[in-house]
Structure 1
């Protein structure tokens, strides 16, 4: 194990100890629960927005995730790479509540135990996920897609009587500019290019005001120009949001990455800068090749 991973492991153990102490001193597992559910509140006292500790899950005897420990800082853009079957998608399934682990802890901020929440609740807490294939409403315009994604009540009555406020219109305009679709706002989503559909779906996630974004192979199938624009978009989001990007395109990873985590057989194999992990013999052997 490298010194960096040893230091990170020490930090995780200290975090775990402090979380456990908070539980014990405040009356159990729901300690701080009312505080964290104040609108917009997220306890980042430990300097981590996401924290996984010793997480494991098996499917029909196959261990897809094997004592995985990982933590993400607020505003960080973390890239995750690794061979097919390394556990990357299962990791995101666990974070978003789609899959329940057999063991381990998953915390959002210092106090929100994600294992106590459903998928819908986790999305409401501020975790957005984008799958590889874009999912947009193709018959609706770009603007209408973003409008539907607004973070606001969406019952039958509100759908019938809802009118955009000035603040909401400003936000829609900001997102349209950010995803570079301002000149396409009246265009049906079904007529967009593959890359533009990807950006629109990212824009729809941004309308939900997420604190953490999980992005699965976002540049797969894009042209070189679209890939470059996507890199610019992600770099502009960094700091305002935390991002976990799972991707195989190494030139794209080189463009956006600071810290790269390599998963293999459901656990962290290596972590560091892209240059560091590319030089790791274990990573070369199982993923990059010679």
Structure 2
């Protein structure tokens, strides 16, 4: 073993630096609710983006958020993840973590991961490397310089590759993946960081029908062990995964319930689903 290799072995991140690595936060879910949003208000130049919004999401739930453009969906996720400060209200992760007094990095460390609509993968790196970079480890200079994957970390990457269905593409450059595969890789990058709550923004935009079906299976499989909140405009996709749907309108919750309840809600039909939905319901069909 060379001197460099010996030094790297001495300073192996998984052996020497465990005290520097972020441990999973203790999230109190005694009441089975993992996300509390209460009385949330936010205005931009007089426009009320969030208006006394209340939302409660159970631990392990798969929740779908729908609403027209400008309804407050993205703004809500911005507040939850610390990207935007609200004017008033409260947001708690479990019963013991006030998210409004934490920045984006601290919120991510608590176990909240967010995927934006457009895939943001490292296209010049392999699929495996993208997942390695996303592992929840200490990112300071010395641990990173002397890093070496442990068997546990390699097993974790293999597990994520299996979950997202990219085992056969582990050494492919991320830039060579299809649009749908890039979306799955980004979800995998979130999973590699071991989040408790996943916020997924329009995951099937631009996907083929086959990719959309696979994405529905993927997100459904994640619920239970993790909590998943999905923002989506594709009603067929929402219908395929939804257990509970929350409809936002003008920064407030307009309705909440099963997909059948939402589709038959007169207020929702009027402001969001439209007259075609009303006609379809009257004919006994689905829109």
**Which band: TM-score by shorter chain?**
0.7 to 0.9
Q: 1: CA distance between counterparts of 2:172 and 2:145?
A: 23
8 Å CA contact retained: 2:24, 2:111: no
Q: 2: CA distance between counterparts of 1:212 and 1:116?
A: 18
Q: 2: CA distance between counterparts of 1:55 and 1:161?
A: 44
- Give a deviation string over 1:209-240, Cα, whole Å, max 9, x none: 10000000010000000000000101110101
- Work out which of the residue numbers 260, 264, 283 in structure 2 matches 1:275: 260
Matched, 1:236 2:221: yes
- Give a deviation string over 1:17-52, Cα, whole Å, max 9, x none: xxxxxxxxxxxxxxxxxxxx9743111112210000
- SS of 1:270's partner is strand
Gaps of 5+ in 1: 1-36
Matched, 1:182 2:164: no
Q: CA deviation at 1:157?
A: 2.2
Matched, 1:152 2:137: yes
Q: 1: CA distance between counterparts of 2:188 and 2:90?
A: 30
Matched, 1:126 2:111: yes
Match of 1:115 in 2: 100
What is the TM-score of this pair, normalised by structure 2?
0.87
Q: 1: CA distance between counterparts of 2:171 and 2:93?
A: 37
Q: 2: CA distance between counterparts of 1:39 and 1:261?
A: 29
Q: CA deviation at 1:104?
A: 0.6
Match of 1:15 in 2: none
Matched, 1:98 2:83: yes
Match of 1:51 in 2: 36
Match of 1:76 in 2: 61
8 Å CA contact retained: 2:199, 2:228: yes
- Give a deviation string over 1:93-138, Cα, whole Å, max 9, x none: 0100111111111000001110110011001101000000000000
Q: 2: CA distance between counterparts of 1:39 and 1:148?
A: 18
Match of 1:10 in 2: none
8 Å CA contact retained: 2:197, 2:226: yes
- SS of 2:33's partner is coil
Q: CA deviation at 1:155?
A: 2.1
Runs of 4+ in 1 over 4 A off after TM superposition: none
What is the TM-score of this pair, normalised by structure 1?
0.86
- SS of 1:49's partner is strand
- SS of 1:123's partner is helix
Q: 2: CA distance between counterparts of 1:155 and 1:121?
A: 15
- Give a deviation string over 1:162-195, Cα, whole Å, max 9, x none: 1111111111000001000000000000000000
Matched, 1:224 2:209: yes
8 Å CA contact retained: 2:164, 2:185: yes
Q: 1: CA distance between counterparts of 2:203 and 2:23?
A: 32
Gaps of 5+ in 2: 1-21, 276-287
Quote the RMSD (CA, aligned, Å): 1.1
Matched, 1:266 2:257: no
Match of 2:123 in 1: 138
Matched, 1:61 2:46: yes
Compare CA radii of gyration and give the structure with the larger one: 2
- SS of 2:53's partner is strand
Farther off after superposition, 84-93 or 147-156 = 147-156
8 Å CA contact retained: 2:29, 2:94: yes
- SS of 1:171's partner is helix
